[in-house]
A and B are shown apart, each in its own frame.
Chain A
Amino acid sequence: MKIDREQLTELLVEKSGLDKEQVASQLDTLVERIRQAAREGKSFHIEGFGTFVAKGEELLFEPDEPLQTEVNQKYAGMKPIELIGAYREQAAGGAGADDDNVVEAGEETTPASRRDKIRARAEKARKEAARRAETEEEAEEPALPEKKEAPDPQMTETERTKEAVESKEGKTGRPAGKDTAKEGFKMARKKSFKKARAEGRKSRDRQPLSAVAGRIVGISLILVAVMAAGWWAWDAGWFEGDLEPDPPAVEEPDNRPSMSQEQQGGEETQQQPASEQGGGQTVTGDETGQNAVSGGDPAAQQPAYGLRGELNTQLASFYTIVVHSLTNQPRADRLAEVLMEQGYRVSIRSVTVDGIPYWRVGIGQFESVQSAQEAAEGIPEPYRSDHFIRNFQ
């Protein structure tokens, strides 16, 4: 709301108790005296209200302290607060025109000793900022040699510090600082681009190496596969034919696995399971070639049980070390002959396991399982590690 002359007059009349004309004339007189003082370059003071001060063409008004305090009642007692943490930001961007507009009230309320302390602290912080800026410049020197500018000998320490801080903060209004920053960015981008390109080239150079490594891995995998296949073939007995004088025309690939399979159930089968006995009745070994070899006087002279010598056909039941278990009877017969030539007591029995007929080739005749196990410790490889004990009847 705006109070014009009429309203002001009414208010003054109401307040002073004077009549309207008196108030109007008093008001005109007051205005005229103030203007007069202003024209003469003097100040005009109204007690309890304020002072009109002429400053050139301007007419300023300074309220008296009681009036100012009353107007500013809401914020009375609030004093300027020093912001320690904000110093650096302000130092980087602020220095310059703003300093001229510093409010003096802050200084008036600050004691001299405190001011000195603050100044010392500010100086310290400024020096630290300058040192950091210099360190950064030095660090960037090898990367950006053209960025370095020769220090102006005429420049004062403060100016240099300011420049360093401003260039560091990037808040400076100076075009030179901006250019430096831009150049820095450009150089950094170029550098990173070059680096990336060099890395790309390196990776391209490295490609053949990785290809070689891949080949090596592939070859080693193939070798492992071949070795595994060889082991499997050896385990299947494919190479056993080489040991024989006359290799069989057809070999059963599952000879060995079937033996291992039977070996797993060894403990039970030692007690003569019914499934084995079914085929076991068809004794072929004793009645075929082996009896032709055995028999005669030497058999009567040797002990009833043993690993080597002639097969004792008088024994109705004995334990033997089964070293071959084959589904191919001719092959089993041939292996038995080889073993007999080596001096072992050899016997062959036919059994049916899970519907599949096997011919078991056993060496030695033993009274007990224990004696058979002890004897098995002394037989050569591969029989020593790949055999099982069975009771032949």
Chain B
Amino acid sequence: MEQEFIQAFREVLREQILRRNEVKLNGLGVFRFEHQNQFQKQHEDGRVVMMPPRDTITFSREKRGT
């Protein structure tokens, strides 16, 4: 694979995800932008923490075949 392609692939996906667009790679899956609200979590030792909100990239594998 050419380095230019990898560079372009990385940048295009980053841009599209930041624009909240879904990017579908045929035969692989879909990349999505996802916002997660803040939430409370309790650890096993009993302490409770408030998790901050965050934006993240999620990937869902295509269902048909592998």
Contacts and interface: CB of A to CB of B under 8 A. Distances in A.
| B interface: dominant SS | mixed
Given A8-B25, A78-B53, A106 B9 contact: no
Contacts of B14: 49, 67, 70-71
Nearest to B31: A61
Interface residues of A, number: 72
Nearest to B57: A63
Interface stretch (A32-40, A221-229, A244-252, A319-327): A32-40
B8 A49 contact: no
A80 interface: yes
Contacts of B43: 99, 102, 106-107
Contacts of B22: 1-3
Interface stretch (A23-31, A179-187, A282-290, A374-382): A23-31
Nearest to B43: A102
Interface in B15-66: 16-29, 31, 33, 40-59, 61, 66
A357 interface: no
B52 A57 contact: no
A99 B40 CA distance: 11
Nearest to A58: B61
B28 A31 contact: yes
Nearest to A10: B12
A331 to B, nearest CB: 103
Given A8-B25, A26-B1, A49-B9, A80 B51 contact: yes
B55 A72 contact: yes
A308 B27 CA distance: 148
Contacts of A83: 40, 48-50
B42 A99 contact: yes
A80 B53 contact: no
Contacts of B13: 49
A31 B25 contact: yes
Contact of B57 (A17, A50, A74): A50
Given A31-B25, A82-B48, A99-B42, A75 B53 contact: yes
A11 B12 contact: yes
Contacts of A60: 59
A180 B48 CA distance: 28
Contacts of A95: 42
Nearest to A29: B1
Given A8-B23, A98-B41, A79 B52 contact: yes
A42 B59 CA distance: 17
Interface in A343-370: none
Specify which of B9, B31, B51 lies most central, judged by the most chain A CB atoms within 10 Å of its CB: B9
Given A5-B24, A31-B26, A94-B42, A80 B52 contact: yes
Contacts of A67: 10, 14, 57
B57 A68 contact: yes
B10 A71 contact: no
Contacts of A35: 27-28, 66
Contact of A2 (B24, B26, B46, B66): B24
Nearest to B39: A103
B61 A23 contact: no
B8 A12 contact: yes
Nearest to B30: A2
Contacts of B29: 59, 61
Interface string A97-128: 01101110111000000010011011101100
Contact of A70 (B18, B19, B28, B41): B18
Contacts of B4: 16-18
A342 interface: no
Contacts of B53: 75, 78
Interface of A: 1-5, 8, 11-12, 15-18, 22-23, 26-27, 29-32, 34-35, 38-39, 46-50, 52, 57-61, 63, 67-68, 70-75, 78-83, 86-87, 90-91, 94-95, 98-99, 101-103, 105-107, 115, 118-119, 121-123, 125-126
6 contacts: A71-B33, A75-B54, A78-B52, A78-B54, A90-B42, A91-B42
Nearest 5 A/B pairs, CB to CB: A61-B59, A16-B8, A78-B52, A122-B46, A15-B8
